[in-house]
Amino acid sequence: MKSLRLVCTTLVAGAAGCSLPIIGGSSSSARPTVLAVATDTADIARLVVQVREFRSSSVVSVVAWDADDAAFGLRTSVSRTGRLVGGVRFGDHLLYMTPLYASRMGGFKYAAVTQGHLLLRARPQRDYYSCFYGKECSPMVTIGVGVPDSVLRANRDSLVVTFYPSVMEPWTITLRREVIAPYLNKLDSVVAQLRKTATM
């Protein structure tokens, strides 16, 4: 079984060209605010966590990936009232990948965390602002699967998703705590801030 692990051990804030997220309030700038967090150590996988916000948008997105392997990562969106609305269903996270990456691994007909817990396949998505938020780019076109919030949080030490092709052998993506925890921490802070703003 083929396997690829997304690993990160250290986070250092302050990537060039990025700013802390500002949720709510007014601004004459149309540029979305973003927080990019990454290590500057070459031998350590560099984690990028971005908060993407357009003030005119009804949602704020949180995206995380390894800058040294941007072919896959995690993503979700939060409504202005602090509700998870991203992924395949409300409350899901999206484990995304590029179509080319999936094809090279053998493609997949379906995916699962365990044999008894199948994950819904996401429709192809296009991100026209994939390089708009700093020096690191996420994929412009992705496919993937929805991961329920409860499943991601229950497996925050390590989440292994197995992909089953029609013909070739299954392959996996392993998301480790060093990726999941910073992503969820940032997401939770965004949710808390949006809920606080919505009640003002």
Phi, psi values for residue 185, rounded to 5°:
-60, -45
Of residues 149, 151, 152, the one with CA closest to residue 90: 149
Q: Are 184 and 13 in contact (CB under 8 A)?
A: no
Range of the domain at 83: 2-198
Helix (H, G, I), strand (E, B) or coil at 107: coil
What's the CA gap between 85 and 68, in Å, rounded? 28
pTM, whole model, 2 decimals? 0.77
Total number of domains constituting the chain? 1
Q: What is the pLDDT along the chain (200 residues), one digit of tens a residue?
A: 665 444 332 233 333 333 334 344 433 344 444 443 333 233 335 899 999 998 889 999 999 998 888 899 999 999 999 999 987 888 899 999 999 999 999 999 999 998 778 999 999 999 988 998 878 899 999 999 999 999 999 999 999 999 999 999 999 999 988 889 999 999 999 999 999 988 87
Strand bridging mode 2-6 / 171-176: parallel
